[in-house]
Amino acid sequence: MLLASVSTFAANQIEGVRIWPSPDSTRVVFDLKDKPQYSYFFLKNPHRLVIDLRETKKIFELEKTQVKGDLIKRVRYSRPEYKNSQRIVLDLNKSLQAGIFSLAPIGNYGDRLVVDLTDTSQKKQHDTKKQVDVGGRRDIVVAIDAGHGGEDPGSIGPSGLYEKKVTYQIARKLERLINSEPGLSAVMIRTGDYYVDVNKRSVIARQKKADLLISIHADAFTSPQPRGGSVWMLSLRRANTEIGRWIEQREQHSELLGGAGEIIKDTQNEKYLAKALLDMSMDHSMSTSYALSQEMVKQMGAVTKMHKRTPQTASLGVLKSPDIPSLLIETGFISNPTEEVKLSQREHQQKLASAIAKAIKNHYRKYPPEGTLYAKMHRNKDHIVSKGESLSVIAKRYATTVSAIKDINRLKSDVLHIGQTLKIPQS
C-alpha cells in the first residue's frame, strides 16, 4: 500500500513555460509531464490569476520564466491549498479575461495547459497605409495572413525550419509590395510571432474592411518526395454552411445590413434580408476567388514548380468567410529537403511574394471594385471573354446590365466565344 501511494503521489510536473504576446492578448503555455488536473480563480488589489495544479511536483523554477508583453508582470509559485499540489500565480498589470484549457500531446508537444489572457477594456488600433486618397476614392484592402505562429510552428522541415517563420517572412515581403502599389493597401492578420485562432483570422480581415484575404502556408507530407505550390479556395459546401451559421447569429446581422439593421424591426424579415445579402455577397466572393486563383496559379507557376496546376477547393477554416474573397497559398513543400532550402532563401521568398502581388494587381486591373482608386486608374473599357463567362457574369462584374453590353456591342444573341473582345459601357 505504501509503495502504491508513493508511485501515484505527484505524478505530474511542469517541464517548461512559454509566453506568446500579441497586440491584443497573451498566451501562456505550461508544458507538462501528464494531463493536468486544475482549477483557477482571479484576485484583485493587485490583479492576479491563480491556478491550482493537483498531484504536481515542484521541480521547474517558475521565477526564472522570461515574461513578455504588457499584460503579465511575473509568474511565480504560492502556498498551495491542497496537499500534493502546486499553486501558480500570474501577477497581472490590469484586470483581464482568461480562457484556460488543456491540450493533449501532438507532434513534438506533450500535455499542455494553455492560458489565454485578453484585455477587453480597449481595442488597440494598428497603423496601416492610408486607405483613402484626396479624391475620396479608397484603396483596395488586402489582408495578409501568415499561417501558424507562436506556439503553433506549423510543419517542420527536415533541417528544423518552421513553417511559421517562412510564412511570416513571405507575408512581410508581400505587405511591402502591396503597400508600394498606388491604390492597394495591406493589413497583416498577425504582426509578430504569436498564435491567432484560425476562426479569428477571417474575423480580423472583416474588421479591417478587407476586400481580399490571402493566407500563406507551406505544405508538408509524410514522405519527402512531393514538391511544388498550390492555390486553394473555399469549397461551395463550406461556404453554404457558413452562410447558415451567420443567418442564425442575429447579433452579426448589423455587420451585414449596416444602417438598415436599425430600421428593420421584424426579426423574420431581417433574417430573410440577411440571407439575400449573404447570397449575393457569396456569389461575388466565390467568382472573385475563382478568377484570382487562376491568375495566381499562372503567376506562381512562372517562379516555382506547381504541385497542383489548377485551383483547388477545400473546407479550410481560414477561408471560412463567405463575404470576403479568400485564397490559401501553399508556397511549396517544407517537407521536401530541396524546397525547404529554397523556402528559407530571401531571394526565393521575394520571387514568391512578387508573383502573388502581380496576380493581385493583374486581377484588380481587370476587375477593379467601384469607388476605388484602382477603378479610376485601371478601369478597362474592353473585356476579353474567358472560359465559362456569360453575359450575366460579365454584367454583374462591371455593375452594368446584359442589355447595355448587348446594345454597345450590337449583339443579337447571348452566345459568347472565348477570346472575344467586348466593349463595357461606363456605369
* pLDDT tens figures, 190-249: 999 998 988 889 889 988 999 999 999 999 999 999 999 999 987 766 555 654 555 455
* Residues 171 and 279 both lie in one domain: yes
Whether 168 contacts 161, CB under 8 Å: no
Looking at the structure of the chain, the number of domains it has is 3
Range of the domain at 23: 6-118
Q: Is 5 left (phi over 0), alpha (psi -120 to 50) or beta?
A: alpha
Q: What are phi and psi of 294, to 5 degrees?
A: -65, -45
- pLDDT value at residue 261: 45
* pLDDT tens figures, 361-400: 999 988 888 889 988 887 656 788 988 899 999 988 888 8
DSSP class per residue in 241-257: HHHHHHHH-GGGHHHHH
In a domain, 401, yes or no: yes
- pLDDT value at residue 81: 87
Cα Rg, the chain, nearest whole Å: 26
Q: Can you give 165-182 as a three-state secondary structure string?
A: HHHHHHHHHHHHHHHCCC
* pLDDT tens figures, 276-288: 555 555 667 778 8
* Residues 91 and 191 both lie in one domain: no
* Residues 45 and 146 both lie in one domain: no
Whether 212 contacts 142, CB under 8 Å: yes
In a domain, 392, yes or no: yes
Q: What is the CATH number of the domain that holds 47?
A: 2.60.40.3500
Collect all residues with Cβ–Cβ distance below 8 Å to 217 and sequence separation of at least 6. Answer: 147, 148, 154, 163, 167, 328, 329, 330, 331
In a domain, 375, yes or no: no
* Residues 84 and 191 both lie in one domain: no
In a domain, 224, yes or no: yes
Q: What is the CATH number of the domain that holds 416?
A: 3.10.350.10
Instruction: Say if residue 9's pLDDT is above 60.
Output: no
Which of 193, 38, 170 lies closest to 100 in space, CA to CA?
38
* Residues 170 and 72 both lie in one domain: no
Q: What is the mean pLDDT of the chain?
A: 84
* Residues 312 and 403 both lie in one domain: no
In a domain, 341, yes or no: yes
- pLDDT value at residue 5: 39
Question: Cα separation of 259 and 272, whole Å?
Answer: 16
Whether 145 contacts 215, CB under 8 Å: yes
* Residues 339 and 387 both lie in one domain: no
Is the bond leading into 46 cis (omega within 30 degrees of zero)? yes
* Residues 145 and 197 both lie in one domain: yes
Q: What is the CATH number of the domain that holds 223?
A: 3.40.630.40
What's the pTM?
0.74
Confidence of residue 346 (pLDDT cuts 50, 70, 90): very high
* Residues 345 and 417 both lie in one domain: no
* Residues 245 and 393 both lie in one domain: no
Q: What are phi and psi of 176, to 5 degrees?
A: -65, -40
**Final residue of a domain: which of 88, 118, 148?**
118
* pLDDT tens figures, 84-99: 899 999 999 999 999 9
* Residues 164 and 202 both lie in one domain: yes
Retrieve residue 30's grid coordinates: 505550461
* Residues 222 and 323 both lie in one domain: yes
Collect all residues with Cβ–Cβ distance below 8 Å to 8 and sequence separation of at least 6. Answer: 55
